[in-house]
A and B are shown apart, each in its own frame.
Chain A
Amino acid sequence: MRFSFLSIAREALRGNRGWTPHWRDAEPKAAYDAVIIGGGGHGLATAYYLAKNHGLTNIAVLEKSWIGSGNVGRNTTIVRSNYLLPGNIPLYELSMKLWEGLERDLNYNAMVSQRGVLNLCHTDAQRDAFARRGNAMRLHGVEAELLDRKAVQRMCPFLDFDNARFPIQGGLLQRRGGTVRHDAVAWGYARGASDRGVDIVQNCAVTGIRIANGVVEGVETTRGFIAAKKVAMAVAGSTSQVASMAGLRLPIESHVLQAFVSEGLKPLIPGVITFGAGHFYISQSDKGGLVFGGDIDGYNSYAQRGNLHVVEDVAEEAMGLMPMTGRLRMLRSWGGIMDMSMDGSPIIDRTPIDGLFLNAGWCYGGFKAIPGSGLAYAHLIAKGEPHPAATALRLDRFRTGHLIDEKGQGAQANLH
Chain B
Amino acid sequence: MRIPCPFCGPRDLSEFAYLGDAAPVRPAETSDATAVFDYVYLRANPAGPHRERWYHASGCRLWLTVTRDTRTHEVLFAEEAAP
Contact = CB atoms under 8 A, between A and B. Distances in A.
The answer to whether A and B touch directly, with their CB atoms under 8 angstroms apart, is yes
A399 interface: yes
A326 B42 CA distance: 44
A302 interface: yes
Contacts, number: 64
Interface in B23-48: 37-38, 40-47
Contacts of B38: 249
Interface string A382-416: 00000000000000001100000000000111100
A399 B37 contact: yes
A325 interface: no
Contacts of A253: 20-21, 43, 45
The SS class assigned to the A binding surface is mixed
Nearest to A309: B14
A301 interface: yes
B43 A251 contact: yes
B41 A342 contact: yes
B77 interface: no
Interface residues of B, number: 25
Please classify how large the interface on chain A is, using the bins under 10, 10 to 19, 20 to 34, 35 or more. 20 to 34
Interface string B34-75: 000110111111110010100000000000000010111100
A300 interface: yes
B13 interface: yes
Contacts of B73: 301, 303, 307
Interface string A233-268: 000000011001000011111100000000000000
A240 B13 contact: no
A299 interface: yes
A314 to B, nearest CB: 13
Contacts of A323: none
B1 interface: yes
B41 A302 contact: no
Given A309-B14, A399-B37, A414-B20, A302 B44 contact: no
A208 interface: no
27 contacts: A240-B43, A240-B44, A240-B46, A241-B47, A249-B44, A250-B43, A251-B42, A253-B20, A253-B45, A254-B47, A298-B18, A299-B18, A300-B21, A300-B50, A301-B70, A303-B71, A303-B73, A307-B13, A307-B73, A309-B12, A309-B13, A398-B41, A399-B37, A411-B40, A413-B20, A414-B18, A414-B20
